Structure 1
Amino acid sequence: MDISRRNFVRIAGVSTAVGVAGCTGNGGNGGDDTVPGEDYPAIDEWLTETEVGDADDTYEGTLLDRRDSDTLTIETGAAGNGGNFAYAPSAVLVSTGTEIEWSWTGEGNPHNVEAEPDDQLGESDYEFSSGEAVGGSGVQFTYTMDTAGIALYHCEPHLSLGMKGGIAVE
């Protein structure tokens, strides 16, 4: 089995965290590369909000921390919200300059990606659109997160089901 250095470090870190759980007293996240959603209240509110669409049932109250990545792929049409009506991951933290690629799974079609600040609690610092909702696998929409802020987005046809996402950019 060929293990990359990164996977070895991740496995060793998880093993160490499991071995010393409760002994460090640092309140860490056990090496799972997440940050609390409460650190980003606009994203936390957007993904749990039910006055604008439904809450995203895939959101577990944390953002996946990917500040060390230059690119990130978000699955569009991932399992969740009563079918394939989710983005995966739905909440993420990235660095300025990160290129985000939303990639359609081919499930739960049609989908799109819409960041419209006026429709998203007035909290989104970004405005972008993949265009009209389309179906199929292999569809992609790419956007570079070029300034610090918050991007709240949704799928127009599936907003009522909770198909929402949030990106914190630092």
Structure 2
Amino acid sequence: MARSRLPDVDRRTVLHSVGALSTAGLIGLAGCAGDDNGDGNGTDTIPGSDYPAVDEWMTETDIGDADDTYEGEIVDLRDDSDVTIDVGAEGNGDGYAYGPSAVAVSTGTEVLWDWTGEGSLHNVEAEPDDQIGESDYEFSSGEPVEGADNEYSYTFDESGIALYHCEPHLSLGMKGSVVVD
């Protein structure tokens, strides 16, 4: 019986190869750690389909355009006592989005909308009659303002859904939603 001859390999070469393969495997898995939705940023999300009114509002085109930053996921911030949403975030044509546009918070959470200074005049309007009639909240930051030194806050004391928009940029899809559990 003929034996195949294997190349001579020393211990150092074997250990170096095994170490390189192990390191490559760990690097490949690093993006998965602590990330339930696979987007690589470690943020948990809830499917928008769990909240049909949110999904409809964010993708609705009969009232304004659809928000192009909404990808069918609600950012789960229910463990945070204070939440900040950027007003004038990148999206819907450059500086015409809320960031993040769809969030879930716990009752008692204060949400702060913080103007970025991008996209000109903005406001935050939750007016159920002017939207799809599904919002459990009604609030307003007032007349549209511009500049990075503007803020508006609202504390969500009861479970429900808040659908909101930017009055001057609703036609561009500048919409947002807060799910309160």
TM-score normalised to structure 1 length: 0.84
Runs of 4+ more than 2 Å apart: 14-18, 28-32
Within the candidate set 94, 97, 100, 1:83 is matched to 94
- Post-superposition offset of 1:29: 2.8
Map of 1:153 onto structure 2? 164
- The match for 2:77 is 66
Partner SS for 1:138: coil
Tell me the equivalent position of 2:43: 32
Q: Give me the CA root mean square deviation.
A: 1.4
SS of the aligned residue for 1:74 comes to: strand
In structure 1, list runs of 5 or more residues that go unmatched. Answer: 1-13, 19-27
| CA–CA distance in structure 2, aligned partners of residues 104 and 95 of structure 1 | 23
| 1:94 equivalenced with 2:105 (yes/no) | yes
Aligned identity (percent) is 66
Spell out, residue by residue over 1:1-35, the C-alpha distance to the aligned partner (whole angstroms, 9 max, x if none).
xxxxxxxxxxxxx73846xxxxxxxxx53453001
Counterpart of 1:15, as a letter, is: A
For residue 84 of structure 2, what is the amino acid of its counterpart?
T
1:125 aligns with 2:136: yes
The partner residue of 2:119 within 101, 108, 129 is 108
Tell me the distance in 2 between the aligned counterparts of 1:91 and 1:127.
Answer: 17
Q: Counterpart in 2 of 1:24?
A: none
Deviations 1:85-139 (A, max 9, x none): 0000000000000000000000111000000011111000000000000111110
Unpaired stretches in structure 2, ≥5 consecutive residues: 1-28
Helix, strand or coil at the partner of 1:35: strand
More strand by share: 1
> Which letter maps to 1:53?
G
Aligned residue-pair number: 148
Kindly tell me: are residues 95 and 83 of structure 1, through their superposed partners in 2, closer, same or farther at Cα, counting changes over 3 Å?
same
Find the structure with the greater CA-based Rg: 2
Instruction: Provide the rounded CA distance (Å) in 1 between the counterparts of 2:107 and 2:67.
Output: 25
Q: Which of 1 and 2 has higher RCO (CA within 8 Å, sep 6+)?
A: 1
